[in-house]
Every structure is written in C-alpha cells, then in structure tokens.
Amino acid sequence: MQSLIILLFCALSVTEALLQVRSAMKMNAVIGGDASAWARPRKTLIIYEYESSPFSRKVRQAVSQLDLTVEYRPCPGARFGYSDQLAARTLGSRTVPFMTDPGNSIGTLANMQESDVIVDYLFENFGPGKSKVPGSLKGALAGRAFGGMDVSKPYANYNKENIFKKPLELWGFEGSGESQPVRELLCALCLAHKAINCSKGSSNLGALQAKNGGKLPYLEDPNTGKKLTGKSECKAYLLATYTVPK
C-alpha cells in the first residue's frame, strides 16, 4: 500500500511539473503566434535588470510575447554590475527594471522605469497596443515565480572586468527551464547579453535550426568566438572564462 502511495505521489509530481512547463511555454509564447505585423525597434533595446526581480521578470515575459531581441545589462540586487552605469544615466537612481530605446529620438520618452510603464511602451510601440497587455502581466502576482537562483548579489568570484566585455548572445526564452540557469549565471557574473527570443511562434526559430538544429539554450561569445549548446556546457564555459581564482 505504501509503495502504491509513493508511486501515485511521484506520478502527480511529474504531472504537475509538466503542467508548469506547458503553462510557462504558453505564457511566454509569441502572442497570436506571429509578430510580423508589428513594428520592430530601430535599434536594440537596452534593459537594466536582474534575473530574480519579479518586476524584471514581467518585462522579460513581455519581451518574449512580442518576439523582441533586447540587450540585458545585469544589475544584481540593483547594487552591482551595471548599476553604477545606470545611476550615472539616471542621475542617481538604481531602480530596475530600466529601459532605454536608442531608436526613439523623442527625448525622455526613450528612457523609462517601472515595469508597468515599460510593458505598456513595448506593447504600444512593438505589439498589438497597450490595451492588449494580457492579464498575466498585470496585478500584484505578475512576474512572481518560485525557485531559481537568488541573484541579488554577484557570483562570489566573478571578474569585475566583465562589465567591459562585449555582450554575449543567448538564444532561449523566458520560462525555459533549460535557458534559465544560463541567464541566472550571466546575471550573477554581471555579463551583458543580447537575448534572442526563441519561444513558440518566434521568427528566430528558423535561424536557430540552422545554427545547431534548434536546441536550447545556445550561446555565442564574441569575446572569444566560442559557440555552445546546452545548459551544462554553457555554464561550465562561463564559470571557466568569467571568474577569477579564489
């Protein structure tokens, strides 16, 4: 009887995990399965954020749903990494997320803080309109998640010169259990990275297929010329390349 109960518990746990994966994929899929009708940024959007911030996560979910390519500049705990650069840009504020749109020439409208403001801007300018922001990106629970690495501080022996490196390129999507550990480590190492969205319905899936057969995550490093596939390989490479001996 006890063995049967254990088997049932395991089956329920697996089922719950599968449902969570499906929910994450649906939540981060490109809205309508096609973003070709929407305007694209003239220049790459730049977002200061950190992985475990729920407000940052909400913005990343919007980016995924709109099939946007953005450059993330990690600010662990809103105190480390690119936080000094952000403070200089904002006359002292370190609040994340903060987004700048280099392709928007209309003064202060090119810079914005607060996750709701950023999400509205993204949907209005590069999506179906801010009136179409889904309920999953609204309310107190938007962007909340359980589990994952706490990235409120940098990795213990990260190289402080990392902020001067060229942005790495990560192919994946918000909600991908395979991509998340690599994003977390990029953040903990304070490495800027261009995120190439590859969620369901993305226009980038064909290019990913040509690069490595469509496997996630996929990482390219312009600083070394390295190209890697798979979370274990990517993490091992990042730790070997962007940390200093203890």
Give the pLDDT confidence of 141-198 residue by residue, as tens digits.
676 665 567 888 999 999 999 999 999 999 999 989 999 999 999 999 999 999 999 9
Residue 204 is predicted with a pLDDT of 97
Kindly tell me if the per-residue pLDDT of 96 is higher than 90: yes
Per the confidence metrics, is the pTM higher than 0.75?
yes
**Contact 211/123 with Cβ under 8 angstroms?**
no
Is 193 within a domain? yes
DSSP strand E in the chain: where?
45-49, 70-74, 98-100, 111-113, 168-172, 193-197, 218-221, 226-229
Residue 98 located in a structural domain = yes
Find residue 74's DSSP bridge partners: 49
Domain annotation covers residue 110? yes
For the beta carbon of residue 112, count every other beta carbon within 10 angstroms.
19
Range of the domain at 169: 36-140+149-241
Q: Residue 64 falls within a domain, yes or no?
A: yes
For the stretch 222-244, pLDDT in tens is 999 999 999 999 999 999 999 99
Residue found under tokens 């990913």: 208
Asked whether the predicted pLDDT for residue 121 surpasses 60, the reply is: yes
Cis before 102 (ω within 30): no
Predicted confidence (pLDDT) at residue 57 exceeds the cutoff of 50: yes
In a domain, 20, yes or no: no
The answer to whether residue 8 sits within a structural domain is no
Domain count, the chain: 1
Q: Where are the alpha helices (DSSP H) in 145-230?
A: 180-188, 205-212
Assigned domain for 65 exists:
yes
- Asked, for residue 27, whether it belongs to a domain, the answer is no
The enclosing domain of 41 has a CATH number of 3.40.30.10
